A and B are shown apart, each in its own frame.
Chain A
Amino acid sequence: MITALTHLQRLEAESIHIFREVAAAFAKPVMLYSVGKDSSVLMHLAMKAFYPAKPPFPFLHVDTTWKFREMIAFRDQMAQKLGFDLLVHVNEDGVRDNINPFDHGSNTHTHVMKTVALRQALDKYGFDAAFGGARRDEEKSRAKERIFSFRNAQHVWDPKNQRPEMWKIFNTRIASGESIRVFPLSNWTELDIWQYILQENIPIVPLYFAKERPVVERDGMLILKDDDRMKLRPGETVENRLVRFRTLGCYPLTGAIESDADTLEAIVGEMLTARTSERQGRLIDRDEAGSMEKKKREGYF
């Protein structure tokens, strides 16, 4: 008979507990589905938490219209295969104003197409709890956030005044219009995520695996030219290189790494020798110090 749980079993149980708590205590939860590896793990845990039922909430993808094409294809394929209720929201105001990462920069683009879009979607459907896949090991303001993270009616996070969070007893009470962001993967590390994907055989977007892809070197990053909206600057050329992604976001803002890791084992092996953090490939974190905290206070996940 087993007596002690393994590290991953403990993390899995904690996440499942969090999922069920939200389903029991909130009127209208939603899961933010961003299609990346953490979302894949989150989805897998949600399926486990409510088995044999389906998760009793819809999945919401906030589409900036600049995601990698392979991400969108993967998203639709998963929705069909697992049979969950998929909502897609686009900030139509942003589309009308042609907000894009090339002309407006990462800051404005992310704010309009992601943060504002997310707030629009939450208000439109009246969701009172929203799951996200953020982990505390990703970034130092995330390291400070509660698992059940309170947002006022304007979706604002007040990092200086968070509710105490004792044991596994979560305070799920909110007034009308307020909401809670819930992070079931808070205590997972990047290595845990990969280990779990390997152990559970969880499908992930193929962009995580090394392949010859057309990339452009720009501002010290390798950007995949995913469609014709990306115009080359003078002196730039498109080269086919063997690359993969360690993290996935909007394609013009996400740097590839040169790698030949084309299996999960190889990815983990590569990660163990990595000398940089995964968010290093994210342009949005570099805009200014405290950048993530600022975005989070405004309502970003």
Chain B
Amino acid sequence: MRHIMAKSLAPTDSVRDYLAAQEKKSLLRFLTCGSVDDGKSTLIGRLLSDTKQIFEDQLAALERDSRKHGTTGDDIDFALLVDGLEAEREQGITIDVAYRFFATPKRKFIVADTPGHEQYTRNMATGASTADLAIVLIDARQGVLRQTRRHSIIASLLGIRHIVLAVNKIDLVDFDRAVFDRIVEDYAQFSRDLGFQTIVPIPMSARYGDNVSGRSDNMQWYSGPTLIEHLETVSVEEAAVEQPFRFPVQYVNRPNLDFRGFAGTIASGAIAQGDEVVVAKSGKSSHVKRIVAHGGDLKQAVAGQAITLVLDDEVEVSRGNMLVSPAARPQVADQFAANIVWFDEHALLPGRSYILRTETDQTSATVTDLKYRINVNDFAHEAAKSLEMNEVGICNISTRAPIAFDPFAENRTTGAFILIDRISNATVGAGMIVHSLRRAENIHWQSLDVGKRVRADMKNQRPAVFWFTGLSGSGKSTIANLFEKKLFATGRHTYILDGDNVRHGLNRDLGFTDADRVENIRRVAEVAKLMADAGLIVIVSFISPFSAERRMARELMADGEFIEVFVDTPFEECARRDPKGLYARALNGEIKNFTGVDSPYEAPEKPEIHLKTLGKSAEEMVDALEHWLNERDIAEDQYDNGGGI
């Protein structure tokens, strides 16, 4: 390619005018979604091409690639313009969302081209979360498909209120109005309850450009706008400035003792110097002394601006809290109902502990109740014990610490959160808060006069939870039993929670699915916690195969009170011993979900005590446990008496 001689003929004044005009343009963020092969990427390629966003060198590369990977014969395959990953071009599919930028004389656009495959729904949700409008593509030959419905539901849940129903490939049905009308009617029926403010159906051919930027001569019967005309004029303005002031504190800026600024982005409303604000979680109030900005303080600021506030008083505010309007405050609660879209291949399990992250706050959270799953075909509410990848459901959520929020329907910024897996750190789900649960507001902690310390002192001991984990038949119960006898003999107050025994009573309603195993452990952990609170030394003897639940149990207990004991006996040895005859049956396929056979056991990485049982007696194990306990108690006594550290 030859280097080019660029022309810089435009006089300075006209450039300034041009830029001033650019600056006044509004911005529309939208996404394209729908089922596989409905032509999403082709449509974006067409939009970029029609609005002259493709440079000569890019066009040359596109022609090259079209010959190599294209699916459109000798024509340019516009999909290759957005399918930027090698794997995408090789497989001819879209895997991840691509962001493209274009402008017309009237507006600027950021478009997210999202994948149609169900497998990549999480990437579609990523694109939808920052969009104000969705173009739902439909192949005129196929009509409304399962993915059309799934994407529409997700768009609706994520707060998108404007839909363009692009009935694409209309050329392949001979520009037939009846086909178009039938699809429009189908979609209207289906989406009735999705809360969309506008649905604009447009018949088009993305490949040939009919009704994209230019009006089509092939469809005299269609009198509505072209796609570009509609995108240029549709009003999606949310009156975020009119809403109550919400300022999630993101970063405390403290360069020296004389300056303490709260930095963040205004989620909604407006603020001015002198205004009163309230700290959401504490209810303390103060006034805005300064709105600090590079280049001079501001008098006022509005939703969307990233600012730094200095307050009149030294009120306690840290990241994760919110400064809000005193007249209309957000909710502060540790229990709420939320819509959840699940992204991870490991299903959402009620009772399992996840990390919950709002824009600036973070705490741990469990789903206490999965109320129902939404069937994407007919919106039926289905009972479910877990939420699989790409499923949508409504859940009750309980957090370890209260968070400040608004319902998502009222505020897309302060009503949203994500869930993160504690071990892999993967983003496993997205949540939209519906409302707080009244019980969080009404059940206050009873403050009790007799405390844990007093109860334990009376027994002349320190509380502890020895958590035995290991395969069935590894020797947990035998060792636990002997250990308790020994403690009892030295005057300690103890209790054993045994897996089998608890399943006969408290947990008799639970089976052995992953979801039930998680709930099994959660209940036992809570009981162990109450017992430790009563001052007891608790011995929990449970297979507890998942590290996530053991970690959850650990986090429930006070520091130093949770002692993970890995009873480490190889699978072959357990199967050989087979004290209850279970391995034989499981290996025969008579028992399902048996740990070590067809259900996984995740060995502890850093247990406090690691008991390798092979070739050792139960007495030797118990000696090791007792030794550990005595060492801990001595260390803590020293610490308490100031003799240690």
Which residues in A have some Cβ–Cβ distance to B below 8 Å?
1-10, 12-14, 16-17, 20-21, 23-24, 47-54, 136-137, 139-144, 146, 159-160, 162-169, 171, 173-175, 186-187, 189, 191, 195, 198, 220-222, 255-261, 263, 265-270, 272-277, 279-280, 289-290, 293-294
B95 and A164 within 8 A (CB): no
Other than the given A14-B306, A144-B97, A273-B7, 6 more pairs (CB < 8 A) read A7-B27, A24-B319, A137-B101, A143-B100, A171-B425, A290-B89
Instruction: Specify the chain B residue showing the minimal Cβ separation from A267.
Output: B8
Q: Which residues of chain A come closer than 8 Å to B56, judged between CB atoms?
A: 275-276
Given A24-B319, A169-B359: A51 and B413 interface contact (C-beta under 8 Å): no
Main secondary structure of the interface of B (DSSP, over half): mixed
Inter-chain contacts of B294 with A (CB < 8 A): 47-48, 51
CB distance from A296 to the nearest CB of B (A): 10
Q: Are A171 and B302 in contact (CB under 8 A)?
A: no
**B445 to chain A: which residues have CB within 8 Å?**
none
Q: Check if B96 sits within 8 Å of A273, measured CB to CB.
A: no
Residue numbers in B under 8 Å from A220 (CB-CB): 1-3
**How many angstroms between the C-alpha atoms of A88 and B56 in the bound complex?**
37
Please name the 3 residue pairs, one residue from A and one from B, whose CB atoms are nearest each other, closest first. Answer: A140-B84, A269-B10, A53-B255
13 interchain pairs, CB-CB under 8 A: A52-B261, A139-B84, A144-B98, A164-B430, A167-B416, A189-B101, A220-B3, A257-B6, A259-B5, A263-B12, A265-B15, A272-B18, A275-B55
Given contacts A9-B305, A195-B23, contact A164 B16 (CB under 8 A): no
Q: Which residues on the B side are within 8 Å of A191 (C-beta)?
A: 22
Complexed CA–CA distance, A143 and B44 (Å): 13
| Most central of A7, A9, A166, A189 by chain B CB within 10 Å | A166
Is B81 an interface residue when CB atoms closer than 8 A count as contact?
yes
Known contacts: A4-B26, A6-B23, A7-B22. The answer to whether A167 contacts B96 by CB under 8 A is no
In chain B between 55 and 87, which residues have their CB closer than 8 angstroms to a CB of chain A?
Answer: 55-58, 61, 64-65, 68, 81-87
Q: How far is the CA of A7 from the CA of B85 in the complex (A)?
A: 29
Q: Which of the listed residues A5, A143, A266, A273 has the most CB atoms from chain B within 10 Å of its own CB?
A: A143
Q: How far is the CA of A6 from the CA of B359 in the complex (A)?
A: 23
CA distance A3 to B238 in the complex (A): 11
Find the residue from B254, B263, B359, B426 having the highest chain A CB count within 10 A: B263
Residue of A nearest to B299 (CB): A1
Q: State whether A266 touches B292 (Cβ < 8 A).
A: no
* B357-A277 in contact (CB<8A): no
Once the chains bind, are A136 and B357 in contact (CB under 8 Å)?
no
Would A144 and B85 be within 8 Å (CB), given that A51-B294, A165-B126, A169-B417 are in contact? yes
Residue of B19, B123, B254 near A164 (CB, 8 A) is B123
Smallest Cβ distance from B307 to chain A, in angstroms?
9
B256 to chain A, nearest CB (A): 8
Q: In the complex, which residues of chain A have a beta carbon less than 8 angstroms from the beta carbon of B65?
A: 289
Which of the residues A8, A173, A221 comes within 8 Å of B3, measured between beta carbons?
Answer: A221
> Of the candidates B14, B100, B306, B360, which one forms a contact with A49 in the assembled complex, judged by CB atoms under 8 Å apart?
B306
- Indicate whether A273 sits within 8 Å of B6 (C-beta atoms), given known contacts A167-B130, A173-B420: yes
Interface, chain B (partner A; CB < 8 A): 1-12, 14-16, 18-19, 22-27, 55-58, 61, 64-65, 68, 81-87, 89, 95-101, 108, 110, 122-123, 125-126, 129-130, 237, 241, 250-251, 253-255, 259, 261, 263-265, 270, 292-294, 300, 302, 304-306, 308, 319, 343, 355, 357-360, 412-413, 416-418, 420, 425-427, 430
Q: Are A169 and B306 in contact (CB under 8 A)?
A: no
Residue of B nearest to A217 (CB): B3
Q: Which residues of A contact B420 (CB under 8 A)?
A: 171, 173
Chain A residues positioned under 8 Å from B84 (CB to CB): 139-144, 293
Chain A residues positioned under 8 Å from B10 (CB to CB): 266, 269-270, 272-273
- Distance, CA A148 to CA B64, complexed state (A): 32
A280 contacts which of B24, B55, B96, B302 (Cβ < 8 Å)?
B55
Residues from chain A with Cβ under 8 Å of B129 in the complex: 165-167
**Least CB distance, B182 to chain A, in whole angstroms:** 35
| Contact A266–B12 (Cβ < 8 Å) | yes
State A164–B359 Cα separation when bound (angstroms).
15
> Which of A20, A257, A272, A289 touches B251 (beta carbons < 8 Å)?
A20
- Among A47, A141, A165, A175, max chain B CB count under 10 A is at A165
Closest to B128 in A: A166
- In the bound complex, residues from chain A placing their C-beta under 8 Å from that of B418 are 164, 166, 169, 171
Contacts of A144 in B (CB 8 A): 84-85, 96-98
- Give bound CA distance, A65 to B618, whole Å: 67
**In the complex the two chains form, is A1's CB within 8 Å of B300's CB?**
yes
Return chain B residues, CB-CB under 8 Å to A4: 26, 237, 241
Known: A24-B319, A160-B95, A164-B430. A5 touches B425 (CB 8 A): no
- A186 to B100 CA separation, bound complex (whole angstroms): 11
Residue of A at shortest CB range from B27?
A: A7
B57 and A260 within 8 A (CB) = no
Contact assessment for B425 and A159 in the assembled complex, using a CB-CB cutoff below 8 Å: no
Q: Cβ of A198 and Cβ of B1 under 8 Å apart?
A: no
Whether B85 contacts A141 by the Cβ 8 Å rule is yes
- Complex Cα gap A163–B105 (Å): 35
* B584 vs chain A, min Cβ distance (A): 40
**B425 and A173 form a contact (CB under 8 A):** yes
Query: Given the complex, which residues of A lie within 8 Å of B24, measured CB to CB?
Result: 6
Given contacts A17-B250, A169-B418, contact A51 B3 (CB under 8 A): no
Determine how close the nearest CB of chain B comes to the CB of A253; give it in whole angstroms: 14
Cα distance A272–B418 in the bound complex, in angstroms: 41
- Tell me how far the C-beta of A128 lies from the nearest C-beta in chain B, rounded to whole angstroms: 13
Please, which residues of chain B bring their CB within 8 A of the CB of A141? 84-85
Complex CA distance for A275 and B306, rounded to whole angstroms: 36
Q: Please, how many angstroms separate the alpha-carbon atoms of A275 and B371 in the complex?
A: 56
Closest to A141 in B: B84
Asked whether, in the complex, the Cβ of B1 is within 8 Å of the Cβ of A2, the reply is: no
Residues of A within 8 A of B300 (CB): 1-2
Asked if B82 and A140 sit within 8 Å, CB to CB, the answer is yes
Within the complex, which residue of A159, A162, A166, A259 is in contact with B6, where a contact is CB–CB below 8 Å? A259
Known contacts A1-B300, A272-B18: does B305 contact A7 (CB below 8 Å)? no
Minimum Cβ distance to chain B for residue A121 (Å): 24
Pairwise interchain contact B357-A169, C-beta atoms closer than 8 A: yes
Residues of B within 8 A of A255 (CB): 3
A13 to B305: give the CA distance in the assembly, Å.
6
**Residues in B neighbouring A261, C-beta threshold 8 A:** 6, 8
Task: Report whether B96 and A162 are in contact in the complex, using a CB–CB cutoff of 8 Å.
Answer: yes
Docked-complex contact A275 and B416, CB < 8 angstroms: no
Residues of chain A contacted by B3 (CB below 8 angstroms): 220-222, 255-258
Alpha-carbon separation in the docked complex, A137 to B81 (Å): 12
Taking a contact as CB atoms under 8 Å apart, the answer to whether A52 and B292 are in contact is: yes
A170 to B157 CA separation, bound complex (whole angstroms)? 19
B251 contacts which chain A residues (CB < 8 A)? 20-21, 23-24
Contacts of A12 in B (CB 8 A): 306
